[in-house]
Amino acid sequence: MTKTSEKIEKIYPEGYTPCEDVNTEDPNVRNQLLHLIMSSTAEDVIDTDLFSVMEKRRSTRQFLDKRVEPSKVDKLLAAADTAPTAGNFQGFEIFYVKDPKKKEQLVAACNNQPYVNAPVVLVFCKNPARVKLDFPERILKKFAIQDATLAAAYSQLAAQALGLSSIWIGMLDEDKVKEIIGTDLVPSSLLCIGYPKKKKIPKPRRNLKDLVHVA
């Protein structure tokens, strides 16, 4: 099936069309697309063992100058979209930053962290207005930050499963990031993704007795 411009306008954002195609007549089109993306091109996926993915994931601040395949970008975005959200209202947005100039500006907006200029840059923003639950605004804001954070975490694990690596960026100037990506929504984190220059061993963690508190 060819992707007509009308169809692209209807369901895909300008500048991003997934490799997989869907039947727009299907009312459940997004789930159909998610299924196609998540189950497609098995050679993309390096590790399908969730626990091994979790154990091996390490932050990367040095990326190879190598393009991330579009089918992998599809999976990174789809993974975020499978995360649970409060009331399933999806109180977050993803900004897929493709413009090299904007990526450079984001370095400055993130405390001059050079690795922010990575092959794939995703900005996760909170969108509490989407959360149509009858709770006070502060609760909706709390839900939105959790929604955005979970979505980014799902992408981060997907990156590892795809043989990629990532760095989570929380040190950001919210106003500067908003201006660069052109939104009023508050960013919660950036996820910068690419092929790692080096594979690293896991970092040490606390002893369980310090981490787990039985109540």
Ligand X SMILES: Cc1cc2nc3c(=O)[nH]c(=O)nc-3n(C[C@H](O)[C@H](O)[C@H](O)COP(=O)(O)O)c2cc1C
Q: Which of 113, 117, 155, 160 binds ligand X (CB under 6 A)?
A: 113
Nearer to ligand X, 22 or 172 (CB): 172
Query: Tokens 């209202």 belong to which residue?
Result: 89
Instruction: For the CB of residue 66, give the shortest distance to ligand X in the complex, in Å.
Output: 20
Closest to 59 in 3D by CA, of 125, 149, 157: 157
Instruction: For the CB of residue 105, give the shortest distance to ligand X in the complex, in Å.
Output: 16
- The yes or no reply on residue 105 touching ligand X (CB under 6 A) is no
Amino acid (one-letter) located at 16: Y
Instruction: For the CB of residue 189, give the shortest distance to ligand X in the complex, in Å.
Output: 6
> How crowded is residue 8: how many other Cβ atoms within 10 Å of its Cβ?
13
- The yes or no reply on residue 169 touching ligand X (CB under 6 A) is yes
User: Any alpha helices (H) in 60-136, and if so which ranges?
Assistant: 70-81, 100-109
Q: What are phi and psi of 100, to 5 degrees?
A: -55, -35
Q: What is the DSSP string of 144-209?
A: HHHHHHHHHHHHHHHHHHTT-EEEEE----HHHHHHHHT-SSPEEEEEEEE-BSS--PPPP---HH
Nearer to ligand X, 205 or 213 (CB): 205
- The yes or no reply on residue 171 touching ligand X (CB under 6 A) is yes
Rounded Cα distance between 16 and 14, Å, is 6
Site for ligand X in 67-96 (CB under 6 A): none
- The yes or no reply on residue 203 touching ligand X (CB under 6 A) is yes
Instruction: For the CB of residue 163, give the shortest distance to ligand X in the complex, in Å.
Output: 16
Nearer to ligand X, 33 or 109 (CB): 109
By CB under 6 A, how many residues form the interface with ligand X? 10
Q: Which residues are at the interface with ligand X (CB under 6 A)? A: 58-59, 61, 113, 167-171, 203
